[in-house]
Amino acid sequence: MGVQMADVSITELRQNLPNYLKQVERGGEIAVTVRGRVIAKLVPASEVSAQTQARERLLALRGKVTLGDVVSPTGAVWEADAGSL
């Protein structure tokens, strides 16, 4: 069961911002609308986007991983088994 997202007009948000921020702080989500169209979403700060999470994982690997050239020939001699084709 997912989190219920409340739709709130920008006017309503301006008038009751502290209340909506408390709701978001408790884990709620708010979709801010203008003329019925969602223009922004307020989510708790602890929720990090998948892109940010991936970037953080890559940065954590920096200096720990060596990326080699996987395209250039290695010079190794290899003979394929012609009978398996």
Domain ranges of the chain: 5-61
**What pLDDT was estimated at residue 1?**
43
Average pLDDT along the chain, 85 residues, taken 10 residues at a time: 77 96 92 95 80 86 78 78 62
**What pLDDT was estimated at residue 61?**
87
**What pLDDT was estimated at residue 83?**
62
**How big is the chain by its Cα radius of gyration, in Å?**
25
Phi/psi for 8 (5° steps) reads: -135, 130
CA of 62: how far to CAs of 29, 45, 50, 52, in Å? 34, 26, 19, 15
d(CA 43, CA 73): 50
d(CA 31, CA 82): 62
Kindly tell me the sign of the dihedral angle through the C-alpha atoms of 12, 17, 18, 19.
positive
The topology (CATH level 3) of 5-61 is: YefM-like fold (3.40.1620)
